[in-house]
Structure 1
Amino acid sequence: MHRLGISLFLAVATTCRPSVSLEDGWNELSCPLIQEARLELLCGGVYTADLFLKYKDALTTVDAPYKVFYHLQNGFYFLLVSFNESPVQSCESTIQLNDGLDFFCGDGESPLRLPDSQVFCHRNIMSYVDDLIYECTKPRITHFLGAEWEGAAAVHYAAKSKKLKLGSAAGMPGLEALLPCLACVLLQK
């Protein structure tokens, strides 16, 4: 009963909240602020329901894996967040993007295969990235970038997993899946 209540709350709450606008960044075949920098793995985690409720990022799903890579040069942060199952999630050292936005793990010479991926370049989503870093670091790192930051972030979305057919685009049970459960609970009373 408690899980049903939480699921129903999440479904209703997410339909009423605007999503984070990644379109404020640009999605094209160049991301000059990140390209050619060797980014080191900072942490990896899973996209939590709390993060979904706060940002409502429709390009990933609750419980989807993500990794954060970073490079610091002259006080300027270069960050890459990669969401969803892909070869990037297996990269445990460094990652680099070339001019064509091909991803290379470690010292590999062959680009990772990332069909249907999207990359958004941003300057103004550091609170989102900060929250992701906070969630995936142990012990927790608060305000990785500090109060006065300069930097840029690229957000990579691998294609969503095909196994999430039931429910909404957010990877959470859709209302169509919850309504029969709600009806059963109400009929039992």
Structure 2
Amino acid sequence: MELHAELPEGPVLFVANHEGNFDVPVLISALPKPFGFMSKAEVKKLPVIRKWMVEMNCVFIERADRRSAVRAIREMSDKLRAGHSMLIFPEGTRSRGHGLGEFKSGFVRVAKDAGVPVVPVAIRGTSAIMEQNGNWIRPATVTVDILGAIQPVSIKQAGAAEVAAAARDQITRRLERRLNENTAAS
């Protein structure tokens, strides 16, 4: 794990790319702050995991229900204002290692409403643990890079699309750098 900028004090909204099923466990071990995260509502059907996620201050969303998305945004903002850092995957679904998807800008509203910094996180290699192996779990090299925070004043001044693009660009550049490092080492 590499920290490329000083992590702001207080709660933050971590924004990460979403490669695979192991992103959350890897990020729990790598990020220096405890956090809750947004998850699809189907996960609530798993009793032990549901209880653990509730304790972590996670927020559940019915992806097909627009009202659920509005409630989830409000709930995440409330948790951030209460002092809990949160994590969101703005791609909305796992890429399975096939490039970075488009970032939905809903996370900008969360950060703006809560008045907290957005901290982009680039994660690489988690899809090699499972998704790229026919759903068999295999060892893999994973990197997590915590990038420069986008401060609340910048979030308030810029449009949602601009902030989403800035976070995505930071993550894209870091992932490309990691790819180039691996290619040069081979």
TM-score, structure 2 length as denominator?
0.25
TM-score, structure 1 length as denominator?
0.25
Q: Which has the larger radius of gyration?
A: 1
* Bigger fraction of residues in helix: 2
* Bigger fraction of residues in strand: 1
